[in-house]
Amino acid sequence: DTGVSQDPRHKITKRGQNVTFRCDPISEHNRLYWYRQTLGQGPEFLTYFQNEAQLEKSRLLSDRFSAERPKGSFSTLEIQRTEQGDSAMYLCASSTGTGGTDTQYFGPGTRLTVL
Amino acid sequence: AQTVTQSQPEMSVQEAETVTLSCTYDTSESNYYLFWYKQPPSRQMILVIRQEAYKQQNATENRFSVNFQKAAKSFSLKISDSQLGDTAMYFCAFMKPQFGNEKLTFGTGTRLTIIP
């Protein structure tokens, strides 16, 4: 069990560029979550995967955002035409999904800065 | 929709002392879970303690304990014998158990500094 990993840890981009983040959950964790954390705020839910199926998206997730989880393993979050308001920490979390209420394990996050 | 409120943006305490962080929440649900997560500087968020709403007994994990007052919708975290490694952002979170998406709703956090 190596924990949840995210790549890159930091990303600086210019407004209008596309960026993609990757999350590798704990192996055999069926549930995967993306959250966004802005300065001075707690994390806010963005989207949820059960295996490869994206089952819920927050209204925070505009049409410039897309997330995938092919084969139910790693996940990617892409932001197209980035805006300065997209600057935030993007957190990934995973849980077992085996029943009951699972603990979510968080990755270290990807800090995005849009210039 | 559920809301979580942490009214103490920052707190500091001397090492070895006890500190209590406050959290209140609003929900119409009767069955739910509450969590305290710790986010050390530049490190990932980790679970400190969790409480099931149907349990009357307050959860305890070593030096960490909660005071869960369901009727008052209050969920405070007590850290005893505080240590330098306790310095971190602490987030209170709410979760409604359901099949599938068990997303967390977080408060705005309390920045705790342990002073040597």
Calpha distance B93→B103 (Å, rounded)? 10
Cβ-defined contact of A45 to B43 (cutoff 8 Å): no
Calpha distance A81→A15 (Å, rounded)? 7
Cβ-defined contact of A55 to B50 (cutoff 8 Å): no
List the single residue in B with minimal CA-CA distance to A109. B44
Answer whether residue B43 shows pLDDT above 80. Answer: yes
pLDDT tens-digit map of A16-45: 999 999 999 999 899 999 999 998 899 999
Confidence of residue A1 (pLDDT cuts 50, 70, 90): low
Answer whether residue A97 shows pLDDT above 80. Answer: no
Confidence of residue A98 (pLDDT cuts 50, 70, 90): low
Average pLDDT, chain B: 94
Looking at residues A52-68, what average pLDDT do you find?
91
pLDDT, position B1: 80
List chain A residues with CB under 8 Å of B101.
Answer: 48, 50, 55-56
**More confident: A98 or A3:** A3
Chain A: nearest CA to B60, how far in angstroms? Answer: 16
Chain A: nearest CA to B46, how far in angstroms? Answer: 7
Answer whether residue A102 shows pLDDT above 80. Answer: no
Looking at residues A4-27, what average pLDDT do you find?
96
Chain B: nearest CA to A94, how far in angstroms? Answer: 11
pLDDT, position B45: 93
Cβ-defined contact of B45 to A43 (cutoff 8 Å): yes
Average pLDDT, chain A: 92
CA B65 remoteness from chain centre = 9
pLDDT, position B48: 96
Chain B: nearest CA to A79, how far in angstroms? Answer: 21
Confidence of residue A103 (pLDDT cuts 50, 70, 90): confident
Q: Are A45 and A33 in contact (CB under 8 A)?
A: yes
Confidence of residue B14 (pLDDT cuts 50, 70, 90): very high
List the single residue in B with minimal CA-CA distance to A101. B97
Interface test with B, best of A106, A110, A111 (most B CBs within 10 A): A106
Looking at residues B32-50, what average pLDDT do you find?
93
Answer whether residue A99 shows pLDDT above 60. Answer: no
| Closest residue by Cα to residue A115 from A38, A11, A6 | A11
Cβ-defined contact of B101 to A55 (cutoff 8 Å): yes
pLDDT, position A96: 86
Which residues, listed in sequence order, are joined to residue B19 by a DSSP beta bridge? B79
For the beta carbon of residue A63, count every other beta carbon within 10 angstroms.
6
pLDDT tens-digit map of B64-73: 999 999 999 9
